[in-house]
Chains A and B, each alone.
Chain A
Amino acid sequence: MQAPANTVDPSEIAKFEAMAAEWWDPNGKFKPLHMLNPCRLDYITQQIAGEFERDLTGPRPFAGLRLLDIGCGGGLLSEPMARLGAEVVGADAAEGNLPVARIHAEQSGLNIDYRHTTAEALAEAGEQFDVILNMEVVEHVADPLSYLTATQQLLKPGGLEICSTINRNPKSYAVAIFGAEVVMRWLPKGTHEWNKFITPDELFDLLRQAGLDPVDRKGFVFNPILWSWSISDRDLSVNYVTASVKPE
């Protein structure tokens, strides 16, 4: 087992350890993530299917793909990917998440390689993946460029990285911090620090500097009337997601 490397901010890890046991309670503290999950999965599955020419209506469409889920938490994305046939490595810098994820995968009859490690440590060990899921992590790391460069090194040429985060503007402050943490109490106070948020243009720049070729970006939009999330081509004002390819 490798030790977390230097870009992880220790105070961030402690926050998630405290929340780890709650991961799989759909009405617990991670309710917003469970609500967002179908939308994230729609985007991820469609991007992977497009890039690797897989048919999502068939059985185990991602068979043969090696996939890394960074910041896997309780396994909310790792499990669906394993169910779709991918060979999944789930990595989390917060050690407390891993027992929860392992127990749940076993209960679900899924074989997932959960590791207490970081992108940097995996890159140093020479690991290679077809797909990297880098969801809601980049806003928590101390040095985004060095972190994204490590993820780029982990990708095989022609590999796909999906990266999502939160935009930085007055609306995202109001929604993601004041709304989600203070008003709705969806997330514990202090989950996000607004100055760490990244705009889509900044993220595209960072991805390019890291050696990736960003090919798509979409918004995840919460509709408070329907009480559900949807994917938007235009509204990237709060939560958004990007797809990048590593040049061959």
Chain B
Amino acid sequence: MDNPERLRILHLMDMTSDIVIVGGGLNGPALALALTATGHSVTVIDALPIKTRKNAAFDGRSYALALASQRLLKAIGVWEAVEDHAQPMLEIKVTDGHAGAGPSPFFMHFDHAELEDGPMGYMVEDRHLRRAFMDAMAADPNITQINGKTVVAQEALQAGVSVTLDDGSKVTGKLLVGCDGRKSGTAARAGIKRTGWDYGQTALVCAIEHEMSHDGIAHQFFMPPGPLAILPLTGNRSSIVWSERTEMAHRINAMEPKTYMQVLRPRFGDFLGQIKLAGDRFTYPLNLTVANSFVADRLALVGDAAHGMHPIAGQGLNAGLRDVAALAEVLTLAERRGEDMASQLVLERYQQWRRFDTATLALATDAFNRLFSNDNPLLRLGRDIGMGVVGSLPGLRRGFVREAAGLTGDLPKLMQGRAI
């Protein structure tokens, strides 16, 4: 009400789209596709050029897609393009490993046979997901893509939001969504502060080729310096995610490939036979960063922009896609009852839905990591007994399987395999 003239001008101006999304990674495109499916128009602003996003070379990055996330991809029409490149995860074996001493006698074993509806999830390479999203967006007449440009300013007005790009052009919409990662400029420009801490650990990520078949089994070893996961990719390949103290991680990552493999090899034994590197190596510092609010005036945050969590259980992308499904549902239902979808009341529903969930998950993965990244003999004994107990009680184990498949909690419709 402060400046009625300007408000009027924004009305008379045609809005570029209903919704403006900043960030063209994975959550941004997923949200764009989920929203056009329910009749909205969307503009996606991405700092990277399309060519980079569509780069087909394997760079070693991949994601463990929970079953619920796979359903979302199916619902928004990108799963078909990914399916042939996806490796079903049939079993997950969790072991309390100890370098040089072999696995502890107790381990947890989760089998998809305990779910009625297929594998627990899928391993999908980043390049295949990116291409599938880019192709689906290009084919969607209700999505406008702006690539290679960054946002320099944003302004929330009573009737909409206006975003200024680095070339001086403006994009307008009813709602702005920040899908721009854990260093979200969208959140910062809205004055949203973040809370978090550093684990002093860094994840080393690479892909390997191995002699023997992985049989669709994912392994998670808990080692004193940090967890190590072996996640099955298509063919005789696996993705390795392994955490070390940050200083050590950088030393390892700087090693020649041959030396790097000499460090990696003894960490999980020889059950896959001969192994060698396949693709690039990456490091990711492990820190937890949660936005103090997931929403602001005409603004919502999705994925890492809202909550960057410890990737220990591969839950980063899955949590982001859950935000996508929840936000698309909240906005669509609000619009169907005639509400202003970007009003504080509507956005608050999204925040309430997702904030509790992600806070729980962030704290649980944090606690998990603290418990297992430890060589205290008492803690080891305790967690070994704990694993044995979980592993031997079918009800509890089934609960873990459903949790890993992303099927617990207040599941958005798109993740139940239903339309909004």
Contact = CB atoms under 8 A, between A and B. Distances in A.
Contacts of A58: 39
Contacts of B336: 45, 56-57
A38 interface: yes
- Chain A interface bracket (under 10, 10 to 19, 20 to 34, 35 or more): 20 to 34
Contacts of A5: none
Interface string B336-362: 111110011100000000000000000
Contacts of A106: 8
A246 interface: no
Contacts of A42: 337
A81 interface: yes
A34 interface: yes
Contact of B159 (A59, A103, A109): A109
Main secondary structure of the interface of A (DSSP, over half): helix
A45 B338 CA distance: 8
Contacts of A80: 337-339
Interface in A80-132: 80-84, 103, 106-109
B404 to A, nearest CB: 27
B158 interface: yes
A26 interface: yes
Contacts of B4: 107
- Chain B interface bracket (under 10, 10 to 19, 20 to 34, 35 or more): 10 to 19
Nearest to B338: A80
B38 interface: yes
Interface string B33-67: 00000110000000000000000000000000000
Nearest to B39: A59
Contacts of A59: 39
Contact of A79 (B39, B335, B340): B340
Contacts of A109: 11, 159
Nearest to B420: A57
B7 interface: yes
A107 B338 contact: no
A41 interface: yes
A58 B1 CA distance: 32
B18 to A, nearest CB: 11
A59 B11 CA distance: 19
B338 A83 contact: yes
Contacts of B39: 57-59
A83 to B, nearest CB: 4
A41 B337 contact: yes
Nearest to A44: B337
Nearest to B346: A38
Nearest to A61: B336
Contact of A26 (B11, B337, B344): B344
A124 to B, nearest CB: 30
Contact of A41 (B1, B11, B338): B338
Interface in A133-155: none
Given A26-B345, A103-B1, A83 B340 contact: yes
A19 to B, nearest CB: 18
Interface in B1-28: 1, 4, 7-8, 11
Contact of A107 (B1, B38, B334, B345): B1
A1 B343 CA distance: 32
Contact of B337 (A38, A103, A107): A38
Contacts of B1: 103, 107
Nearest to B12: A109
Contacts of A26: 343-345
Contacts of A41: 337-339
Contact of B338 (A34, A57, A84): A84
Interface in A30-71: 34, 37-38, 41-42, 45, 56-59
Interface string B315-339: 0000000000000000000111111
20 contacts: A26-B344, A37-B345, A38-B334, A38-B337, A38-B339, A41-B338, A45-B336, A45-B337, A45-B338, A57-B38, A57-B336, A58-B39, A79-B340, A82-B338, A83-B339, A107-B1, A107-B4, A107-B7, A107-B159, A109-B11
Interface of A: 26, 34, 37-38, 41-42, 45, 56-59, 79-84, 103, 106-109
Enumerate the 9 nearest inter-chain pairs by beta-carbon distance, A residue then B residue, closest first: A80-B338, A41-B337, A84-B338, A109-B11, A83-B338, A56-B336, A26-B345, A107-B158, A45-B337
Given A34-B345, A38-B334, A41-B339, 14 more contacts: A26-B344, A37-B339, A41-B338, A45-B337, A45-B338, A57-B38, A59-B39, A79-B338, A82-B338, A83-B338, A83-B339, A83-B340, A84-B338, A108-B159
